Amino acid sequence: MTSTRLALEHVTYHYPATAAPALADVSLELHGGEVVGVIGSVGAGASTLLLVAAELAPRVLGGTRSGAVRCDGRSALLLPTPWTQVSGMAVSVWDEVAFGPANLGWPRDRISSAVDRALTRVDVAQLRDRDPGTLSGGELQRVILAGILAMEPEVLLLDEPTAELDPAGARFVWDLLRALARAGTAVLVATSDLDALPGAADRVVWLAGGRVRAAGAARVVLGDAALWSDDGPGSTSAAGAWRLAGLPTPLPLTVADVLARLP
């Protein structure tokens, strides 16, 4: 068993001046070497879960939290709005990616090699001299991700990391997250790209109304017919078509699953 990198224990969180909790009694463990997907309808609490796990809530955002958050190692969070995560202080992509490591007080050559490695890893080395202000949304999302990887986090928290990316770019990021997990990183990723999860996630946590509705092996949770209830986010495209066709459960999740089920 790999080490527990992040643990939330009975966490309840309220944003400032709100009566209803955004998270209610949420417990979860994240281990090195695994990718865990967080799914839910808009407003179900997935983004909040990441903000709490990163200890930005309540520390920066205010509000109140009960329960415990334990993180073993350095964590870093990719926000769903990359344009709000640019330092605004860098004249080049290289400098932007160096911003995080520089703030960790690393020696110059360690920063330099970490930045070069991260740029290559996220496949944006060709953008290194560009002004971050001139990048497209998708390019910026990858540059911000490079900046996060350059800090060499043990716990990687990502909120909709593929929302701005074209399908090839999205597949690249999912493959990258798998590779990082293989190298020991613990990855927690909130996503609405449910079609990516059967291949990309080991486990899935389904949040509804701020509570954990289901958690477990990715294929088990994604195959749960309850995901199609009113407060559920649904599941993969293949499962959706199968269900709409009125065909028997369990729901197949991928094209390959459907092919295996049909005579």
Partner 1 sequence: MTVTETLRLEHVSFTYAGRPALDDVSFALAAGTRTALIGHNGAGKSTLMRLVTGLLRPAAGTVWVGDWIAGDRRPEELARRVGSLFQHADQQLFARTVHEDVAFGPRAIGVPEPELATRVTRALAALDLEAVADQHPYDLPPPARKLAALAGALALEPALLLLDEPTAGLDRRARARVTQALAERAAAGAALLVITHDLGFATETLDRALVLERGRLVGDAPLADLLTAGVGLAPWGLAAPPLAELSAALRLPGRPLRERDVARALAERCRP
The binding site for partner 1 (CB under 8 A) comprises 15, 18, 40-43, 47, 80-81, 83-84, 134-139, 142, 160, 163-171, 192, 194-195, 233-234, 236-238, 240-247, 254-255, 258-259, 262
As given in the structure block, the two tokens for residue 135 are 């990048």
In this complex, which beta carbon is closest to partner 1, that of residue 97 or of residue 238? 238
Q: How far is the CB of 193 from partner 1 (least distance, A)?
A: 9
* Position 44, amino acid: A
- Dihedrals phi, psi of 203, to nearest 5 degrees: -130, 160
In this complex, which beta carbon is closest to partner 1, that of residue 183 or of residue 245? 245
Q: How far is the CB of 163 from partner 1 (least distance, A)?
A: 4
- Give the three-state DSSP class for 214: strand
Q: How far is the CB of 198 from partner 1 (least distance, A)?
A: 10
Q: Render 93-108 in DSSP notation, one character per residue.
A: HHHHHHHHHHHTT--H
In this complex, which beta carbon is closest to partner 1, that of residue 168 or of residue 183? 168
As given in the structure block, the two tokens for residue 145 are 């991700």
Q: How far is the CB of 144 from partner 1 (least distance, A)?
A: 13
User: How far is the first Cα of the chain from the last one, in angstroms, to the nearest whole number?
Assistant: 40
In this complex, which beta carbon is closest to partner 1, that of residue 55 or of residue 228? 228
In this complex, which beta carbon is closest to partner 1, that of residue 89 or of residue 168? 168
The residue written with tokens 């309840």 in the block is 12
Alpha helices in 28-162 (DSSP H): 46-53, 93-103, 108-121, 137-149
In this complex, which beta carbon is closest to partner 1, that of residue 54 or of residue 111? 54
Question: What separation in angstroms does the CA of 20 have from each of 2, 13, 17, 66, 209?
Answer: 36, 9, 9, 14, 9
Q: How far is the CB of 162 from partner 1 (least distance, A)?
A: 9
Q: How far is the CB of 3 from partner 1 (least distance, A)?
A: 31
As given in the structure block, the two tokens for residue 9 are 């224990």
Please state, in angstroms and rounded to a whole number, the distance separating the CA atoms of residues 238 and 207.
Answer: 22
Angle at 228 between CA 242 and CA 221, to 5 degrees: 90
Q: How far is the CB of 252 from partner 1 (least distance, A)?
A: 10
When computed from its CA atoms, the radius of gyration of the chain, rounded to whole angstroms, is: 19
In this complex, which beta carbon is closest to partner 1, that of residue 135 or of residue 146? 135
